[in-house]
Structure formats: C-alpha cells, structure tokens
Structure 1
Amino acid sequence: MTDAAGLAALAAGHLDLITAPFTLPRSRILVFRSEDGDGVRVHTSEYEKPLDECRLLDGVTVTDAAGQVLPVSDVLPWRIAFGSSPAWVAGPSTSSGTQTGPPTLTFDGPAALSIAGPEGTRVELRHPDGRIETLPLTPAGIRLRLGAGRTAVTEDGDHAAALAACEAQWLEWFAKCPRVRTDLQPMTAFCWWVLGANIVELPSLGDARAVVPSKIGYVGLWQWDAYFIAVGLRHGDPELAREQLDIAFRFAGADGQLPDVVHEQGILASSDDLPESDRATLRRAGSQIADPSQPVPLTKPPLAAWALRRVLEVEDAPDWARWQLDRVIRSQDWWFAASDLDGDGMPEYGHPYSSGLDDSPVFDGPIPTAAPDLGSYLVCQDREIAGLLARYEPDADATRFVTRAQRTQELLLRMWDATSSRFIAFGAGEQIRSDTVLGLLPLRTGTLPDDVRDALRTALDDPERYALAWGLPTVAASDPDFSPERMWRGPIWINTSALVAEGLEASGFADRARELREQTVRLVVHGGGPHEYYNPHTGLKAGRATTAFGWSAALFIDLAVRLTEPDPHS
C-alpha cells in the first residue's frame, strides 16, 4: 500500500467530511457532510472569517429515480460517492465509472465542483438566500462554479474529464508522500493529505503556494507555522518547503522584523494592523517599559535559521540559502535592536502574539515579557547562523553571533530559580512563576549547567508535573493555572513536544528524546488525526481545537521519518 493509490486509500480512511473536509490543493472550496446527514454543504475558505459567514451552498442532496435520498457512501481524496445500491459498487473512479456507477462529486479546477449521476438521479441545491434548485443529473454532469459575491453558478460540465484531472492531481501529490514505518504509514498518508489540502494561493503573491495552518479559520501564512510546516514538507516536496520560507521571509520590514502573518489582504506585523478593539486592549495592558500609545511589533519566535537549516538538509540550494540567510540575520538583529525594551541585553515579547503561545498563563502578567523560551531561541539562532555562514559564506566572520549567543545564555541563566528548580519569566520586571513548557525549552541550547539540565529532566519525568499519560502538557499539571482543554494552558501541542524532544537530545538525553517522540506520534494516532491540540488526560482532540491542522501534520511526518531511520544512538 505504499504506491500513490495505496497511500491515497490510507488517507481516505480519515476523510469523514466533518474533521477533514473534501477540498483540493489551491482551492478555496470546502465540502462538509450536512448536519442532517443526507448530503453535503459547501463553504469557502477566507482569512479571519468563520465558516458560517462563508456559505456557498447550504445543502447538496442527491436522490434516485424514486426520490429516495442517496447518502454519502464513500470518500476518496478526489471524489465523493452517493448511494449504496449493490449495482453501484465502487468500480473505477475514472471516466469509465461515471456512466453506470453511483453519483459522484469532484472538483473541476480549484474554483468549481462537478456532480454527475446516472439518468434518473437528481440533485437539490439549497442556496444561502433560501433558493432551492432541483436539477436532473446526467453522466456529463453539472459544473458548480464559485461566482462573484460567494454564489454558486451552474453550468454544463464534463464530469469525466474533471474526475480524471482531480484524481491525477491527488495521485501526483501522494507519489511524494514519505514512506515510513508500517505502523505510522496510515497516519503519515493522512498528514500528507492535510498538507496538500491546506495549499492555497494568495492573490497578493501571484501564484505563490502557501500551506496554511487550516482552511478552517487560519487562511494565511503564519511565520511560526510556516517553519514547522516546511520541516515536514521537506521530506516529500523540498521545493514547496522552500516556498514557505520564502513567503515568510519576503515581507521583512526595513529594520529586519518579520511579520506575524502574510495573508491575502496584506500582512500582520504591528498592533496597528489589528482591529481597534484589539489595539485598545493592548493599550490597557501597557507597562512602565512599553509605551502603550505606540505601535507594538507583532512577529513570531526566532526559529527561522532552524527551519532554514533543516530544509536545506534534504535538498541543498546554495544560492537560495545565501539570499535567505541575509534575511534571517537581519531578523535576528532586530530582536536585539528593537525588542530589548528595557535595555538589559535580553529581548522581550512585546505582545503575547509574538510568542506563539499567546494564551499561556505566562502572559497573564504585565507586558512586555522576558521569557526563557525566547532567550533559548535566540541563543540557538545565533549558533545556527554561525553554522550556516560557515557552510555558505566561509569567508564571513561569524564571531559576533557566537559571542552574542554566549552573552544571551548568561542572561538566560539569570532566569533560573534554584529554589523552585525552574526557569522564571518576567513581566515588566515582575516575576511570573507559572510552571509552563516555556521553561523547558532552554534544553535546546544543549549547554546548560549539569544541575539545571538534570532538574529539567526530572521535571519532565514527574507525573505530577509533565509526565502525563498521553504526553507533555503545556502547563504543569500541578500548576493552579493548568486546564486540560484551554489553549496553551495545559493541552498537548505537537510543536512544543517536538521542540522539547530536540532539547532532550541536545542535552544528552537521547533515549528520553526518542521516548517523547514515540509518545507524540502515538498521541496523534490515538487522537484520530493531526489536531491543533489535545487533552492530556484523554489523548483526544480538545473541544475547541481545529482539526486537520498544518503544523501538527507536518511535525508528525517529520517525527515519523526520524523514528523510521536507524537510531544513531543505539
């Protein structure tokens, strides 16, 4: 089952049209199972708009010649089949199956659907404005085109050609899917589908392909997400992985700051780009350090060099690497020049959004926030830059990056509280004693003093704090702010688990790192897919978490590939 068709079949087992909609790479159309279960509904995918505001068709219901509803019976990445008559057993999915097989729905390019069925079958289309169209189906099909003003326009179709083209597009994508350990291959195939399904075009960037976190509510390229997504994509499509970094780096400000989000209407790089209500909230949360009347930069943690190195590990691109490395260096310099708001040498988060963990209890206190995760990211990024310069610009002097990394680590260690044996964050100079995953990320430096390193390992092995049954919570279970369901306040996230596993390995705990990686992929399989975050007690999707989430899918793939390779430490 490791050819393209077999991998597509493995992915199809998860296409329930509820947590995983029917869609196509580059398309903004999403098809879900209708709430009454009799058919499907169709939405568009738009930046910062909920599905209820993006209705294209409230219902698409197929009936047979007797007027009986034909429910969804089977889903493949390239088509939905309706009805379960014995005469309509699966059969070919190409044109030879469209005349005598069941009614099917497919894509006809990114901006249209095609539906067809045997003579006598009909389709009812319920429009958001209340109109109901009932149309006869034929083997040639009806084309449902996305028109102006979010309307569905019916046209004559060529269903056989549309179905064949859609199938070919998906099989081409699955041909690139990484081959991994047998027990991890079905979920890897589904995660690869998620990455393909989440490809969109951003009109402001021409034909650039952004792999968004989700077509359900996250239709843009978030800087941090792009890094994690690129790390997973590199195993099957390194060109597309590089494209994610190119988009993330392309809109750096004159001072080097990278924006938080690149989206179809522009970028989000400052509090001035937020709605007025958000800006007012930010002003109310101002501190004696940050001037609340001034715009606050919005970005994401500095993992750019890490992502750049990992993408280049799979397929080298020296000229491209040198071009991007210059942008990474400028963004790293920006942190020290513009985000060290109290001038002590250690940059701070000027806004919770810039941390990526914006709902963490660490940000319940005043802002700006000096946090141990940011310090460790900066240490690692300066070292990564030095390594990339040695590889791509051997004549360049990397001394300042090595020296700055050493200085930043010294400042990071000042956040260590020996009494509680953990790193402490500071909000506007005040201690923030929440016990969170941010305090574990300094393990990534690999150069912590032995007593600090060992204390963090002890915390990870403590069932009262971080050693929960299904994985690593984002807030210690013993912390009063712990919540198993609330975003960043207890649930398990795949990205923080993967980063802490890197830290364990870098700090000399290779076996424990592998245990955490195995536990993380087991969580995704148990939870039924790459969700945004998971309840650490049940191992299932948290109630408000997004499904088919980009970085969870990408990092599952990366972990699966790594766990399939021979263990270099054994």
Structure 2
Amino acid sequence: MTDLAALAGRHLDLVRAPFTLPSSRIIVFRAEEGGGVRVHTAEYEKQLDECRVLDLLIVRDAAGSVLPVTDVLPHAVTFGGGAATLVFDGVGALSLGAGAPGISAEWTTPDGRTRIAPLDPALRFAVADDRAVEVAASLAHAEAASAAQAVWTDWFATCPVVRDDLQEMTAFCWWVLGANIVSLPRLRTPDSGEVRAIVPSKIGYVGLWQWDAYFIAIGLRHGDAALAREQLDLAFRFPTAAGQLPDVVHEEGVLASSDDLPQADRDRLRRAGSQIADPNAPVPLTKPPLSAWALRKVLEASPATDEVRAWAARQLDTIRRSQDWWFAASDLDGDGMPEYGHPYSSGLDDSPIFDGPLPTTAPDLGAYLVLQDLELARFGEEFGFDPAPHLARAERTLAKLLAMWDADSRVFRARAAGVPVASDAITGLMPLLTGRLPADIVDALVAALEDPARYGTPWGLPTVAAGDPDFSATRMWRGPVWINTNTLVAEGLADSGHPDLARELVERTVALVMHGGGPHEYFNPLTGEKAPTATTAFGWSAALFVDHAVALSR
C-alpha cells in the first residue's frame, strides 16, 4: 500500500493537486512566489481567494535561506530534503516540524501580518471555522505524522489493483477520491456516524451534486462499496414533497429550487423563462435521472445481505417517486416528454442546446428517462413491485424520443420551447443508452463517432461536433471532452450491440486522462490537454477512470 501512495505522490505537485486529508477542509498549495506554500479552506460556493488562511508559509534554515518544497506524499510535504515536514494534525490543523537544527517558520496571514518562530521542534497551526489560525508550539509532531500516514495507508489499502499500465493513474485517482472527502456535521442525525461526501473538488465544488454522486459512487464501489452507498444515500435523502431530488446537498441544506440561490442568480434564472416556463416562478433545480442506473452498479459490488437489500428498497422508493416527478412536474408543455426547465438541471449548463428559449426538450433526458424506467422494471421483478407501468412508460417515452430523430441530418435534435435546435451536441448520442434504437439510427450514430467533422476528434468525443459553428475546443460543454459523457456513450454502444467499439472508447478515455496528466474536469479534444478553465483533481473523472481501469483489467 505504501507503493500505491508513492505512485499517487508522483502527481501531487501542490498546483493541480493540493495537500489535504480525508474529511479535512484544509487544502495546501504551492505559493506562486516566495518558495513556500499557501493554505486555504474548502467551502461551499466560495472561491479559494475568499477562503485564505495563510497567504504564505515558508521554512528557513539556520542561515535564513528559504528551504523549497522537495517532496510531496499523501501524508507529508517535505522541505529542504528533510529539514522540515508539514503534516496534518487531525482534520483541523497542520503541524510543521523540524528535521534539522536551527529551522524556523515564517507565515503571513491575509491581513498582511508576518510572524517568525523557531521549529523547536514543531509548530501546530489550528484553523478555526472562521479561518482564524492559532499557532502554538507542539511536541506531538511525530504522533501527528504517524496518524496522518495511517489515514492514507488505510485508504490506499482499498485501492483497486489493475493493469500495470493503468496502476499509477489509478492510485492517483484513488487519492483524488480520498482527498475530496469532506465531513458534513450539520447533516448528521442521532443514529448516524460521520456524514461523508466525496465532493467534485475541494477546489471550488464543495457539495454533493446529484449526478456527480452517481458517477463517483460507480468508481468508488470497486474499493469501498459501503462509502459508495453512503454517497447515494446522501443524494437520495432530501427529496421534495413532490418527489424531486435536489441538485445539490451541502453543509447548509440543499439546493432544489432557484429560490435556494442568491438573489442575483434567482433573477438570472427567472429571466431565462419562456412563454411555457413561467419566468416569474421559481425554477426547480435537479440533475438528470440516472439514479437507478447508479444504484444498479453500486449493488453489483455490494454484499447481498438483508441489510443492503432493505437499504436498496428504501432508495428505490425514492427513485420511483423522482421518476414520477419528471413526468408530473417537468413535462412543461404537456406533450408527454419531460423537458429541462433550466440548464442547471441538465448538468450540461453551457451547452448550445440551451442558447434558445426554455424549456428544452433534449434527447439525452429522453434517453435517461427510458433507461431509468427499464432499470426500475428490472428492480420491480427483484423487489416485488409491478414492473408493467415502468415498461409501458419506457415505451411511450421511447416513441417520443424517436420522434426527435432528424433523418435528413441524421441527428437527434433538441427543441427550444418547441423549435428544433440546430446545434449538433453530444446529447444526441445518448439515445444509444436505451439499447432499443432501430438499426439504421444506431448505424448513423456510430458513423458520427468516426467522422472527424463530428465526433471523431483525436482525443475522444467532443461535447459539440467538431464541425458545428458552436464548437469550441476549450469552452465548457461546447466542445471539450468530459469523462462522464464518454462513459455514457461507451455504455450506450455496449447496450446497442457494439461492445468492441465501447471498449475502444474506454481505452481512449483512460489514455486521455494519462496523456492530460490527471483526472481533470474536461479536456481539449484536439490536444488531449486540460482545458484552461477546467478544475483539476476532479471527482467524477477520477472515479470513472478507476471504473474503466477495473473493467479493462478483467
């Protein structure tokens, strides 16, 4: 397990991957200037600059020279080749200890004050909820270092062992999942232990987004199925009275409506309405209905105990109500096919299919709804509820979905308030997930995947076709490759009779992550590099890499 931690450590540069500890809100980065590090907290809906703890922490030798960072492992940052080490002392503090005589620390707080103190032998930096820092001498540096190393040793003990060429990146992705664990004490109940969410990233995404939780659980199941179930349990814990699942679960509650957002965001959302979606009414915010799909995959890796079965039955009740909500409350034009009431609910916020008026009838949503009802029908046979209504609704939705096929352009077209959208977006490939498309449509979509003017770009599937006027290689959801959309299309290919093409796409996806230097949020489809504005150490990219690595290693 030490070897796996060392493999992960090759990627811990304190720039794209910060120093942190599972369940901690403290994150440490390399300072841009000064030769040291800077310390922040990870907080919901706050950027790093708003969460400054120490603007600079440097280590000096006996002569006063700054000692640079020389090594980073999951449990320790080393300065000056061992002259000092920075470790966690529990989840709320850092410990900086000397490994040689005459070492001192110098730190600057956000108010501009600088202090210097000797490491004799260590200093403990305790971070309060308001980001204030209390610094005190410590004699427990060695114990803190040992405890922090034990946390990571236990974590890497669960890391899947995969194909040799994939093991190093799998170890790093497993580190990403552990690093992105945050504790949510405000959501703890009297009969629960610590509430742990694996967030998309401690760098700006500190909450449990609905479909992030699904993708993260799918990768996590290979090493810690119990924690994977915790992610789904938290995602499903707070449905509305009507059955809608919230967009986000966070430390202060949930985000399920535009009324849960700041006023500026609420105004922007309401202005985005149309003659069908009332611009003056609150907008429900959720994420695509992939919950039954995720539950199926997590249960495949879970023990078949009575306890797990009872847990699954409770989740299925929530999922069925959520599926009903889409048809009862999000079919905004009453034609039998639910729509996205706002881009936030699609997860593809900046896709050009949302450039027109709302609501948006989207082929990906239709595909997810068909898939979900088919999964629920299978669950019905296993858990004793009637599968027939789900099968019947899946057939009705599939018929509506097939009506979105434009045979002339060979594209599934979204509609903006009923008007066809010209953009050729990856949402039009998601109907493959149904596994029930006519052969000629499957053939057309496979051809699109191989066409360099559409989705046959060098580094995976762009989220907008390469030849489309709306294509951008770097703008979020308007061209970059995302690991989750690659994953869904690969699954659709397998379900639609093309397992070899599905495996080829999965191989290309893991190759992209390794080429790009890690599980970033999204990638340039022409160069395979991280897009400039993409977040690094991104949760679902890491989890899905793990899932693919395991599948490719069988």
TM beyond 0.5? yes
Matches for 1:298-309 after TM superposition, within 5 Å: 298-309=285-296
**Structure-2 change in CA distance of 1:457 and 1:152 (3 Å):** same
The equivalent of 1:229 in structure 2 is 216
The equivalent of 2:279 in structure 1 is 292
Question: Which residue identity is paired with 1:276?
Answer: Q
Matches for 1:177-196 after TM superposition, within 5 Å: 177-196=159-178
The equivalent of 2:32 in structure 1 is 35
Gaps (5+ residues) in structure 2? 189-193
Distance (Å, rounded) in 2 between the aligned partners of 1:24 and 1:281: 37
Distance (Å, rounded) in 1 between the aligned partners of 2:48 and 2:355: 30
* Residues 1:312 and 2:309 are matched in the alignment: no
After TM superposition, give the deviation of residue 119 of structure 1 in Å.
2.6
* Residues 1:20 and 2:17 are matched in the alignment: yes
Gaps (5+ residues) in structure 1? 89-101, 566-570
The equivalent of 1:417 in structure 2 is 406
State which of 422, 426, 431 in structure 2 corresponds to 1:437.
426
Distance (Å, rounded) in 1 between the aligned partners of 2:131 and 2:268: 33
After TM superposition, give the deviation of residue 142 of structure 1 in Å.
1.1
Distance (Å, rounded) in 1 between the aligned partners of 2:222 and 2:201: 20
Question: Which residue identity is paired with 2:57?
Answer: V
Which one is further off, 282-291 or 300-309?
A: 282-291
Distance (Å, rounded) in 2 between the aligned partners of 1:134 and 1:291: 59
Distance (Å, rounded) in 1 between the aligned partners of 2:422 and 2:230: 40
The equivalent of 2:498 in structure 1 is 509
The equivalent of 1:255 in structure 2 is 242
The equivalent of 1:454 in structure 2 is 443
The equivalent of 1:246 in structure 2 is 233
Distance (Å, rounded) in 2 between the aligned partners of 1:71 and 1:328: 52
Distance (Å, rounded) in 2 between the aligned partners of 1:472 and 1:51: 31
Question: Which residue identity is paired with 2:124?
Answer: R
Deviations 1:481-524 (A, max 9, x none): 00000000000000000000000011111111111000000000
Which one is further off, 67-76 or 145-154?
A: 145-154
State the TM-score, normalizing by the size of structure 2: 0.97
Matches for 1:140-159 after TM superposition, within 5 Å: 141-157=122-138, 158-159=140-141
Secondary structure at 1:26 match in 2: coil
* Residues 1:389 and 2:386 are matched in the alignment: no
Deviations 1:141-167 (A, max 9, x none): 111000253111012321000000000
State which of 318, 324, 329 in structure 2 corresponds to 1:338.
329
Distance (Å, rounded) in 2 between the aligned partners of 1:282 and 1:205: 28
State which of 319, 322, 331 in structure 1 corresponds to 2:313.
322
After TM superposition, give the deviation of residue 266 of structure 1 in Å.
1.2
Secondary structure at 2:197 match in 1: strand
Secondary structure at 1:138 match in 2: coil
The equivalent of 1:96 in structure 2 is none
The equivalent of 1:428 in structure 2 is 417
Distance (Å, rounded) in 2 between the aligned partners of 1:468 and 1:192: 28
Count of residue correspondences: 543
The equivalent of 1:472 in structure 2 is 461
The equivalent of 1:48 in structure 2 is 45
Question: Which residue identity is paired with 2:224?
Answer: D
Deviating above 4 A after TM superposition, structure 1's stretches of 4 or more consecutive aligned residues are none
After TM superposition, give the deviation of residue 73 of structure 1 in Å.
0.5
Deviations 1:26-76 (A, max 9, x none): 000000001115110100111111111111001111011111111000111
Secondary structure at 1:185 match in 2: helix
The equivalent of 1:371 in structure 2 is 362
Q: Is the 8 A contact 2:364 2:431 kept in 1?
A: yes
Distance (Å, rounded) in 2 between the aligned partners of 1:61 and 1:45: 21
The equivalent of 2:191 in structure 1 is none
After TM superposition, give the deviation of residue 322 of structure 1 in Å.
0.5
Q: Is the 8 A contact 2:270 2:283 kept in 1?
A: no
Q: Is the 8 A contact 1:235 1:558 kept in 2?
A: yes
Secondary structure at 1:250 match in 2: coil
Question: Which residue identity is paired with 1:108?
Answer: D
* Residues 1:72 and 2:69 are matched in the alignment: yes
Question: Which residue identity is paired with 2:359?
Answer: P
Secondary structure at 1:193 match in 2: helix
Distance (Å, rounded) in 2 between the aligned partners of 1:276 and 1:420: 42
Distance (Å, rounded) in 2 between the aligned partners of 1:36 and 1:419: 57
Question: Which residue identity is paired with 2:135?
Answer: T
* Residues 1:126 and 2:108 are matched in the alignment: yes
The equivalent of 1:169 in structure 2 is 151
Deviations 1:9-37 (A, max 9, x none): 00000000000000000000000001115
Distance (Å, rounded) in 2 between the aligned partners of 1:193 and 1:389: 37
Question: Which residue identity is paired with 2:252?
Answer: Q
Matches for 1:541-556 after TM superposition, within 5 Å: 541-556=530-545
The equivalent of 1:352 in structure 2 is 343
After TM superposition, give the deviation of residue 274 of structure 1 in Å.
1.6
Distance (Å, rounded) in 1 between the aligned partners of 2:261 and 2:128: 29
Distance (Å, rounded) in 2 between the aligned partners of 1:62 and 1:156: 15
Question: Which residue identity is paired with 1:308?
Answer: L
Distance (Å, rounded) in 2 between the aligned partners of 1:389 and 1:72: 56
Deviations 1:519-544 (A, max 9, x none): 00000000000000000111000000
Distance (Å, rounded) in 2 between the aligned partners of 1:484 and 1:232: 27
Secondary structure at 1:535 match in 2: coil
Secondary structure at 2:254 match in 1: strand
CA-atom RMSD in angstroms: 0.9
Distance (Å, rounded) in 1 between the aligned partners of 2:254 and 2:155: 29
Question: Which residue identity is paired with 2:246?
Answer: P
Secondary structure at 2:95 match in 1: strand
The equivalent of 1:114 in structure 2 is 95
Question: Which residue identity is paired with 2:36?
Answer: G
Q: Is the 8 A contact 1:37 1:71 kept in 2?
A: no
Deviations 1:214-268 (A, max 9, x none): 0010000000100000000000000100000000000001110000001111111
Distance (Å, rounded) in 1 between the aligned partners of 2:54 and 2:439: 61
Question: Which residue identity is paired with 2:85?
Answer: T
Distance (Å, rounded) in 2 between the aligned partners of 1:147 and 1:500: 45
Question: Which residue identity is paired with 2:97?
Answer: A
- Between the aligned residues of both structures, percent identity stands at 66
The equivalent of 2:553 in structure 1 is 564
Question: Which residue identity is paired with 1:179?
Answer: V
The equivalent of 1:95 in structure 2 is none
Secondary structure at 2:66 match in 1: coil
Question: Which residue identity is paired with 2:264?
Answer: S
After TM superposition, give the deviation of residue 130 of structure 1 in Å.
1.3
After TM superposition, give the deviation of residue 284 of structure 1 in Å.
2.1
